[in-house]
A = this chain, B = another copy of it.
Amino acid sequence: MSAFQWPARVYYEDTDAGGVVYYANYLRYLERARTEWFRAHGHNQLALATDPGVLFAVAEVSVRYRRPARLDDLLITSCVAARAGAASVVFGQQIRRGREDGELLAEATVRVVCVDANGFQPRRLPPQIIGDLQ
């Protein structure tokens, strides 16, 4: 099964004075791809915050930067979601240049925890999400 993919263009806003994408901004591409993964699977995160009243909060991020992304690059961010306990999902993500099998620029692992939208306490994953996890 091929991973979910989401494109992003690099604009000036993403770069820094080193001439490449600022290291924190790769996390934006990662989050856009996770958000679109939810949407593509029919889950609206704003709706989930109301019913059943849960948010997905990032608990851990690891990024390995392999090559710099540059101004005007088209980036393809992939996203594979796996269950990790009663309340957690782990996303394996890659950012590649130009196309799905383009040059690997960054690899990331992101663990998100399902939490109560008000109190931020951990909550079991909603059943409708579990079916979409590996």
Determine if A55 is an interface residue (Cβ-Cβ < 8 Å): yes
Determine if A132 is an interface residue (Cβ-Cβ < 8 Å): no
- Oligomer copy total: 4
Smallest beta-carbon distance A56→chain B, Å: 10
Q: Tell me if A27 and B24 are in contact (CB < 8 A).
A: yes
Q: Tell me if A18 and B12 are in contact (CB < 8 A).
A: yes
Smallest beta-carbon distance A66→chain B, Å: 8
Determine if A125 is an interface residue (Cβ-Cβ < 8 Å): no
Determine if A20 is an interface residue (Cβ-Cβ < 8 Å): yes
Q: Chain A residues in contact with chain B, CB under 8 A?
A: 9, 11-13, 15-20, 22-25, 27-28, 31-32, 35, 44-46, 55, 57-65, 68, 70-72, 120
